Each structure stands twice: as structure tokens, then as C-alpha cells.
Structure 1
């Protein structure tokens, strides 16, 4: 069976008829977990819900870090895209640090997220090179975590290039990692035209971690690169421009890198996990000592049953055993034993495109070994980058008229909440207005209905829901709540109360309780912050997670509508556009994880301050399912005006333009283009449906400029993107 066919078979097994009953949580995006995600995506376990907790959307691959530092690999080449991997595996990804674990209650504490429940958990968080030396936190950077060091290195090289910093580097630690990084940094700085002064500081009497032959080759390579080695040297303090040593002269350093050994993450010491020198003690099946439902792997784990040095090769070799045993723990199956090899090949970069290989005490070096190492590293990354594609849904040979045409269209994407197109929606709502009800000021056609309050003032009412575009109920709740509040904010009203409307996938009572707790706690925080109260709601089970809210708001004076715009008003937008194309590409597995994470992070942010600043708008709406052009056209039609938008002034989410040019598009795009045709420049992104999109306000020029200044003072963003004018209700893009 081909890989795509296998995936389709596995996907068919996870139908709504298979309830979710067990939570598997992977803490960390290390190499072993990345490989487990790939295998899980190929054959997911029916009934298991998978969660990954990692502070960033990507995880650097250790083997290519020296090549990246030397300038041989780009940042993208180095990084494992956890967002794409999690989408492929059907896993939710929580972008935050784990800070504690309660093994009695089976809860993992996550920074900014609260507690995540698990039935089975695995920890693969790597190590850190942060050292307990005076001044380290302020003036140095550890070689691990890799992403922090890589970013600091890029900034250092840029500063050396513009002449603001001397190319002086100190590396604390004369093991393989320290020497390898020193050689890489020397090569990169020389390529940048600098003459580096790099010093490796080793507390021992010689380079550690290799045999005599390899040590001699490393020392020769370092000497040729102009790298100094200080042995029997102990660091006493790190300052901004130098490293102080015990009984030695200080070492000049504009950049100090800590690469002396492996240090466990500090939060592990505050848990009841079994530890050996701060590392998690594991048993031959990779579960931790005394707990068969928590596993640990990679550099954060200690293996007393088979002691080995900290090396990525063991994490990679452990991945198949971990994957098998995680499934066994979830199903009650038989577990396998991990038997790491005693001898392994070391491939060490030598700065330029040359490498050294060592095994059994024998060492060789040269360009051919670099090419061999490069092939091995690229093969590993290709396995995680080029994920098998799912087979398209099979169209029946015999079907009712029109079925084939609809099934041949793009599948429903989450970037527009799978919203119905504007034309059929307008037709369905056309008969709802009741002119005989004196309490209804406006109903169909605006962001929210407006109702007169008996004691004076007005109440606005709106409802909205989203089908899940990501697997994390917490993030989806934040986005859905902000999306629903957008209609209230757009009318200048103060949010009042909210009711939830939830559809949960079929799951066990325990998972129902966990999910509802996460959703309710998150929704309450969002609405509390906006000044509204979550007062209840309704929950059912169905095919997929869907989260919605009915929200009311109040305003003493007439709420802002889309009908009050004036000629010569400018249009102010408070958020980029392009979330629809990014989420559509995300669901297809073609979007960059960093760009997806960036868009989601913006979408879940409140816009209450923006709404307050734009309170003097003549007309306002929020840009959502019908795209920027559709919502501008709505203001034009209601106000009897035309609009001219300046394409170069319109902000776009990072990556949206590239994806759009490559053909990625939301399933609602064709309907939006048809319902809101534009003149001038033809740009699909003008019609891209948005979720939790920005506020769009029509204001006098001077008022708009004051509003932009106020937004900037509060650390917020806003853009003037066009102007309204007398004429037919049309939208022109220039």
C-alpha cells in the first residue's frame, strides 16, 4: 500500500463514530518527538487525542546548527516545522513552556495556559547550556536552547558587519560542541570580511569528548582558523566585554557562548520526577522510574540501564521504540526495550565545508566527509519536511447532479469558518426585517441588530461561530470569542453578556470535562477582559469542534453603523489581511509554521482598545468572512459612496502574498470575488475571508491621523488604506 493510501486509510479510522477517550501529551519538540509525530500522522491511533507543548513553532535540528552558524544553511533549512508536523499528525500544538507536572492528578502546568490533563505523557525538552556563573544571564548565551543561540548569533554577525562590535568571541567549554561552534563562528566571521579573535576556554587539561587522533585533528583545524585554546582555566565572571578567569588574564569577548556540558532545565528539579543529576531517570522501555505512563527521551533523560553521552543519535534511534511504547501505554499492549548502540559514528563540522569522522578511536577528515554529513542531515530533515500527501476524497461514480462539481472544489477551510457565501445568505435573510416592531432599530444588513432599551439607550446583539481551524480548544476559544466580539466593537458598543454555543467531537465523559473546562475558563477570561460576562450556553456533540458565542453590548447613543460614512472620509484598518489564505494553506500542509503561528497570535488578541480609540468613526465594521473588498463595499452601499483603496498601504500577514501568488486560496474566495467585484488592480487578497479580522472605520482625515497616533502610543497598529468619495458604490484598487 502506498504512503498516501495508508494515510487515507488511517484517517478513515478516525471518524466521528470513534470517540476520543485518551489524552497523549508530548512535552517538547525534540528529535524523537518530531519522528513520533511523523509516524503518528501515518497511522494515528483511533480514540487518542494528541497534544504537543513547545515554546516555539519550530525546533532547530542539532546536527545542522554548526553549518547554520558557519553560513552553509539558512534558518529555514535548520528548523523542524512543528506546526506542519502537528497538523499532519492531527495534534494540537500549544506554543508555551511547560513548567510543572503533577503525576498524581496527571496534569501538566503550561505557562499562560493553565493545566493540561494527560493519560500518557512523554518529555523530550533537550538540555540547556545556561551556566551558574556571575554575569552569564546578562552577558552570555548558552549554545542550547539552539533557537535562542542561533538568533543571538545572527544579531552578533550583523553588528560585526556594521562595525558596532568587535569580532571577539569566547566559548566556554572545550568539548566537541564548543570546538565545533568555535570553528563555525570563525569561518562565518572570516566570510563576512572580519578578522575574528575566538578563544575556547576549557576547565580541563585538554579537549574532551574525542580520542587522541581526533583531538589532534581538531587542534590543528582550530589553529589554522586562528582559534586560541586555554586549558586549566576556570571562569569566575562574565562581563559585557570580557570573561574573567581564575589565575589567568581575562579574555576579550563581545560575545560569550556557554558550551560546557549539558545542564537540565531548572523546572524539572521542582517536580517529583525521579532525577539523576537533574536528568529524568528512565527504564529500558523509556518510561520513567516508578511511572509507566510518563516517558522521557533525548538529552533530558538519563538511562542508567545503558549510560550514554548526550548525543542526538540516541534520540533518533529511540523514536521508533518510543512510538511503539506510547501506543502500547494507550492500548494496554506489550512494550519494547530500547537498546542503544555502544559505539556510534561522530561527524564533526570543521567550519568550512569539511568534516571529521571518528569511530573506534580512528578519525578521518576532509571535504568528502562534509558531503556525507550533509547528505545524512538533509535526509533527516527531508523526512520531516516532505510529508506524504493525503489522497483526495473519492468522488462516487454515480451521484446526484451537481455533486461532482461541489466535491471537485477545494475542501472547506477553517480560515473563513466555512462560512456560507454572501449571495445565498443575503437571500435567506431578506425577509426577516419586521418594520412593525418599534424596538428594532436595525436588523439584517449590519454587524449587529440594534434594539431600543426600555429605559433609554441601545442594545446590540450578534452571534458567530467557527469550526476549528486548529486543534487547540483554548486557542480556538480565544479566536472565536474575539471574532464574535468584533461585531459589538464595530458598533462602538460596550460588551455586555455572552452565551456559548459549542459542538464537541464525540469523546468520553472525562475528555468532555477536560475540554469544557479549558473552553469555559478561556472564554470567561476573554469576556471578563472585554467587560462582558459569560452567563451560560449550550453544548452538543457532533462531527468536529465548533465554538461560537452570542454576544450583546450596550451604548447610550445610537451605535455606529455601516451607513454613516461621509465623502472624503479615509478608511482605517487595525489588522493585516490574509489570514484566510494562510489557514487554507495550513490545512493543506503548505504554509510555514512560523507564519501560521504569527497569524494565529494576532487573531486571538483583543481589539477593545482599538474600538475605544475609533469611537468617533462615522461608520465602522469588522473585516471577516466577506473579505476586505466585501466589507468596504458594504459601507459604500449603505452610505451611498464609492471607495478607492491603495494596495501598497494595505497591511498583509507575513507569508500571505507568497501563498496567494502560489495559488493557495480559501474555499470562500470565489464567492467573495463574485459578490464584491473590484475595479483596477486585480488582487485575490482583497477578497480573502478573515477570521477575527481588523476593525474598518470611516473617519475624517484629521481624526484618523489622531487615532493612529493614539494607537501607536498604546503599542497598537493601524493603517489608512483608502478614501471614500461621491459616486456609485464601487471599490477601486490602485
Structure 2
């Protein structure tokens, strides 16, 4: 039996720029055993800037620009940390991340791009928007176009900066405003005597395009002030503008200035010919945030793309004591400039051409680049042995899918209930409630205590996010019964790794878990750690009651069934494992799962019966409530909320490992959208509360839950009848 290869080195990529995205793809095709890869990025996607003008003009949807980093990280076997880097200490090898504990590294690379914000201009920070970062500009533009369509804003735009980028965006915005029936008034403002970045022949073509779109060009003009509806020049001229864009150059991110790294006068990271930061042996930088000391080049995405293979090689070499390669950028590159309509200008070596055929060529280049990430290579899976014990193939399923994570890997309800049914109880008077509800109920004199335990396989490679959600998931049982969390024991299993990496990952997990648990008013009192085949996190939690416990058995005929959180997390997690889920949907789901539910539980103390929806799915937990209360549940399928993307994945046949067992254990009768019905059996991790409440209390509960930061969905009712669940 081959031993498990221990993890010994941490490689951290800061930023999801083009070079890092390509390096991640290369890593996924040939990972380095023993190295743990982490990507830090402020969002689940990274936009491709080459298609930005086409999006602004209306030729591409917003999502067509996005590299899905969730899918890419899964393909590369990388941890994805959703947050913006705010500092780096090259001596301590530590990266600070907003909203996250520090990340440590052995080797790291920076590819965070640039910004086009201009805080030195009065009013820009309040009323202007930089063309970069792309996300903020694209969203601000979308909102502005909607306001123009509704007649709430005039179609007046000013672009500060008359280079190639400013010219492209002025033409793109003019085109878009025309398509919605507006008559755009766009002004392109440049401080130099002429538009910059163009050869004489290309400048002539660009100027003619601007004339055709009615773009006013002001050269030799400096901006002094920006307000909500105008731009004021240094000479006092006021230019009407309801939307002002900054495109006057490339600016380095401010946090780099405090890093102690070698920087140019304008704040860019100095790197040598191997892309290594000058004088720092274990840190690299690439893309627009870096400055090639030996071979300076303009800020252009083409150099980042060409640098990616060299970066990927050198990162591996640095991790494995290999030899580094030099990056030798080309001296000139082909510029393909969008001209508003599906028309492009091509320039190289001082010569230029323009026309629709060049736009089609540019589009093919851009789509080919994006297809590298839309269609990630299918990596060969380990084949099953030819000879297997009977039942193995049936247990694995037709596609031999991996075992799901989170609550998707629970033991089937039928197996569990069968085991518990044979358990003898000795009848202790201080054990008031045995297996079957959310937690055990114990009596110690006049004190009532609840005790629960929960263990989860890691459903995300981010240890801090996993720890936060797993802790909230475990606390859900305590909150559901109306108790206040008291004490917590933690059990952690991590893959085999060096002591340095053990310390890093344990620190990340414990910081996050302690934050959740202490905010819930409980104390971590101990636990256990071990190494194993994978990351598993468990919590044993006690809680104290100051009143009667809310159990499964209190529902009454006529009660309304309410739910506090969408369903579908198990299907989304299964889809993410298979590389079929949308990264934005995964991020939105995680953000919801990370919200504590203590205040919501307190707001629902008037519930007759309540439980949290976890591994056995909404139907399974609702059936347990129906059985304990001797009632029949009627569900309004269309009223049951689902996470974005879950219905589409369910319709495509994506389900969790435990889905089939859940469906068999809690049958639902009636007709409805099969994909939606299937989600009733979807295992939930950190799911919401499902409760039975009186109709008279509904209005007050809605207000109380809303004030607690939650939402109450009315999804059905309980009535007399044989125990079961109907869709009505």
C-alpha cells in the first residue's frame, strides 16, 4: 500500500489575475505532491479585461467575462480564500486578508492587477468610478444605464483619460446608450496634447470613430473637480456628466506601499527576469502589479498571459529546489482595440487596420482564452479493479461518484433508526429524552441541559470558512430546542502534514471556530486532534434551558409550517465537487450558511415545534416532526425557497450521496416540479429552522424574524390524518 504523501510546503497565490489563473490550470494538470496550494481573491470570479469594452457596449453578458475561480480551484486542488489581501510581511511570510485570519506561506506570488481610481482629484472618490477594478465599474455602469432607461439620469458621461482604454470605453458607452434609445453626450478628457497610446495611423482611425459616435474630445485639459452632475476643468469649464469614469493610467494598490517590498517610485513591485521579487527568494509578482526591472514593458494583459508558463515552472522549482527560468517578453505586441460597434482597430509596428473582420478575429482570440477555463480538461480518474465484490458498483452508482461532503455523507436514516431501535435504555431519571430529537435533554436538579454532537467532512478547502459553518451547524441543534449554548468540545482530523503546516491549519480553524462559539456565548473547553485521510471537524455542544425545550412533538393541527432558509445546499456542494456548479452560486450559498441563527431562533420561541434542517433533508426532518406530533403535513412546493442554481443542478440529475436513502425514508406524495421535489430530500449543512406555528402568531413572528435579520417562508400546514407528507 502506497503511503499518503504528507503536505510539507504552502504555496499561496494572491489575486486571481490572468497569469495566476493560467498557472492554476497548469497546476491542476500536473500538481506537485506535498505542496498545498491556496488562492486568495476578493470574490469567486476573476474578470477577463479583454472583453470589458464589448460588455460595456452590450455585446457580451457580464458572466461571459468571468473566470470561475471556484471551479478552477477545485480543478487545481487549491484552497480558495474569498477575501482581499490587505498586507504582506515577507519576513514572517504572512498575508493579512480582510475578514480572515492571517495566511502563512513558504512560497507566494502576487497578481492583484491595478486600479484606476484617482483620489487626488477632488470629488472622484465620491462621484467617480475607476475603469479598474472591472467589477465595480461594470456594476456601476449597469445601474447607470437602468437609471437612464427610467428617465432618472441624463445620458451624460465623462471619461478622464484619453489613452487606448479611455477611447475604447467612451465608444462602448456611446454605443450602449444609443441601443436604449438615448442620445449620449460623452466627453473624453486628456491632459496631453493628443490621445495617447496610438501610432499616427491608428490615431487617425480612432479619432474618426469618436467623431462618428459624437464623442467630444478635449485634449490639453486637466480635471480639477468632479461632482454628482459635472466635471470641472482647471480652467473653470464645467462639463455635464452624470457618470464619470477614470481611465487615466494604471495605479498600484496602496497596501503594497507598506509591505517592505522593493517598489518603483509609482508603487509597482520590482521583479527580476525570473519574475521573483528583487532580493526576496520565495516571493514572485506578475501582471500589471509587477515591474520587470531588466525588460520594462507597458501594462498589458498579453505580458501576463505570456508570463504564466514561466511563473508556473518557477513556482514549482522554488518549492522543490529546482532551477528557475527567465521570462523574456516580446518587444512589441498586437493591439486589438474595440471601436464601439462590432468593429476593431488592429495596430502593430506602427501600422494599423480597422473593420468588422478584425472584431471577429479579436472575439475568436478572447473566446479561445476564456474557453481554457470554461472547458477545463477532464483528468483521468483511477479505474476500478476488474474484479470487485458483489454490490460495489451498485453502491458507487453508475458514475462512481465521490462521497459527498458536509451532511451529504451522513449514514442513511433507515440504517441509523434501525440501529437505535435495538438500543437498550437503562432508564436514568436524569436523562429526560433519548435519541430522536435534536439533542439529548438532561436534568440536574432544577437545571435542564441539552447535549448534541456533530461531525462533518470538509466541504470547502478554506479551513476558516469550513470551521465557521461547521460550528454554526452544530449550534443549530441547541438553538432549535430553545437553549443557550454553554460549552463546546472540538474534534479535528487533518491530513498528514508537517508540524509547521499542522500549526497553520489548526490556527486558522480554531480562530474561526472560537469566533463563532464565543459570539454565541459559549466556551471551548477542550477537544481532540488527530491526523487522518481527510479533514473532518466535529463539535460536542451543551446548552442550558430557561424554559421548556422546543421539541419535535409539539405541532398542532392547523399550525402553519415555516422555514427560515433556502434548501439545496447538498446539491450545490455535489455540483461543486463535480465542477458543474456556478462559482457565484456557491459563494452566495456559503455567505448564507455563515450567518448565525441565534437571534432567529430566539425570535421563534413561540413555535409549537421546531428543528433545524440538516442531513435528512426538509422532508426527512418534517416527517420526524409529523410522527412525533401524530399529524400529516401539506406542503406548498412553489413556496419552498431554494438556493440559486440548485434547481438547475437538480434537474440535471446532480444529487448528494445520501439523496436516494433520504427519498426512500421520507416519501412525499403529490405532483410537482420533479427537480423541486427532489430538493425536499437534499441534505442540508447549516440549514434553516423548520417550525410549526399557530396562525395567530404568524404576523408577529414575521416581524420578529425580520428584525433578527432573517426571513420567514410559509411553506405549508399541519392537519389531522395519517402521518405523512403531501404536496398540495
1:334 aligns with 2:323: yes
1:559 aligns with 2:549: yes
Query: What whole-Å deviation, never above 9, does each CA across 1:445-489 have from its counterpart, x for those lacking one?
Result: 1110111123x1211111111101110110100111011111111
Equivalent residue number for residue 202 of structure 1: 190
- CA–CA separation in structure 1 for the residues paired with 2:396 and 2:546: 49
- CA–CA separation in structure 1 for the residues paired with 2:710 and 2:257: 39
Q: How does 1:487-502 map to 2 (within 5 A)?
A: 487-502=477-492
Equivalent residue number for residue 690 of structure 1: 684
Q: Is the 8 A contact 2:600 2:708 kept in 1?
A: no
Q: 2:42 aligns with which of 36, 52, 55?
A: 55
Shift of 1:616: 1.7
Instruction: Single out whichever of 245-254 and 528-537 deviates more from structure 2.
Output: 245-254
Instruction: Single out whichever of 387-396 and 592-601 deviates more from structure 2.
Output: 387-396
Instruction: Single out whichever of 654-663 and 427-436 deviates more from structure 2.
Output: 427-436
Query: What whole-Å deviation, never above 9, does each CA across 1:197-229 have from its counterpart, x for those lacking one?
Result: 110000000010111000110000000011010
Q: Is the 8 A contact 1:415 1:666 kept in 2?
A: no
Q: How does 1:109-508 map to 2 (within 5 A)?
A: 109-131=96-118, 132-276=120-264, 277-408=266-397, 409-432=400-423, 434=425, 436-454=427-445, 456-508=446-498
Query: What whole-Å deviation, never above 9, does each CA across 1:674-725 have from its counterpart, x for those lacking one?
Result: 0000011251011111000001111112223211112223332221111111
| Change over 3 Å in CA distance of 1:224–1:238 after alignment to 2 | same
- CA–CA separation in structure 1 for the residues paired with 2:492 and 2:357: 59
Query: What whole-Å deviation, never above 9, does each CA across 1:92-141 have from its counterpart, x for those lacking one?
Result: 11111100011111100111112100000100000000002111111010
Q: Is the 8 A contact 2:496 2:532 kept in 1?
A: yes
- CA–CA separation in structure 1 for the residues paired with 2:423 and 2:262: 65
Equivalent residue number for residue 663 of structure 1: 653
Q: Is the 8 A contact 2:408 2:657 kept in 1?
A: no
- CA–CA separation in structure 1 for the residues paired with 2:652 and 2:393: 25
- Give the secondary structure class of the aligned counterpart of 2:409: coil
Shift of 1:417: 4.4
Q: How does 1:505-654 map to 2 (within 5 A)?
A: 505-654=495-644
Query: What whole-Å deviation, never above 9, does each CA across 1:415-468 have from its counterpart, x for those lacking one?
Result: 5241111000111122335252111111111110111123x1211111111101
| Change over 3 Å in CA distance of 1:295–1:479 after alignment to 2 | same
Shift of 1:648: 1.6
- CA–CA separation in structure 1 for the residues paired with 2:479 and 2:147: 44
- CA–CA separation in structure 2 for the residues paired with 1:677 and 1:250: 70
Query: What whole-Å deviation, never above 9, does each CA across 1:321-365 have from its counterpart, x for those lacking one?
Result: 000000011001000000010010000000100000000000000
Query: What whole-Å deviation, never above 9, does each CA across 1:34-76 have from its counterpart, x for those lacking one?
Result: 0011001111110011111111111110100000111111111
Shift of 1:162: 1.1
Shift of 1:312: 0.2
Q: Is the 8 A contact 2:612 2:687 kept in 1?
A: yes
Q: Is the 8 A contact 2:406 2:458 kept in 1?
A: no
Equivalent residue number for residue 717 of structure 2: 723
- CA–CA separation in structure 2 for the residues paired with 1:84 and 1:109: 24
- CA–CA separation in structure 1 for the residues paired with 2:102 and 2:293: 31
- CA–CA separation in structure 1 for the residues paired with 2:240 and 2:3: 63
1:676 aligns with 2:666: yes
Instruction: Single out whichever of 165-174 and 654-663 deviates more from structure 2.
Output: 654-663
- CA–CA separation in structure 1 for the residues paired with 2:455 and 2:10: 26
Shift of 1:157: 0.8
- CA–CA separation in structure 2 for the residues paired with 1:255 and 1:196: 11
- Give the secondary structure class of the aligned counterpart of 1:77: helix
Instruction: Single out whichever of 102-111 and 423-432 deviates more from structure 2.
Output: 423-432
Equivalent residue number for residue 106 of structure 1: 93
Q: Is the 8 A contact 1:499 1:535 kept in 2?
A: yes
TM-score (norm 2): 0.98
Equivalent residue number for residue 14 of structure 2: 27
- Give the secondary structure class of the aligned counterpart of 2:551: coil
Q: Is the 8 A contact 1:16 1:543 kept in 2?
A: no
Q: Where in structure 1 are there 5+ consecutive unaligned residues?
A: 1-11
Q: Where in structure 2 are there 5+ consecutive unaligned residues?
A: none
Q: Is the 8 A contact 1:572 1:704 kept in 2?
A: no
Shift of 1:16: 6.7
- Give the secondary structure class of the aligned counterpart of 2:385: coil
Q: Is the 8 A contact 2:408 2:658 kept in 1?
A: no
Shift of 1:604: 1.7
- Give the secondary structure class of the aligned counterpart of 1:160: helix
- CA–CA separation in structure 2 for the residues paired with 1:701 and 1:531: 32
Shift of 1:385: 1.1
- CA–CA separation in structure 2 for the residues paired with 1:433 and 1:718: 40
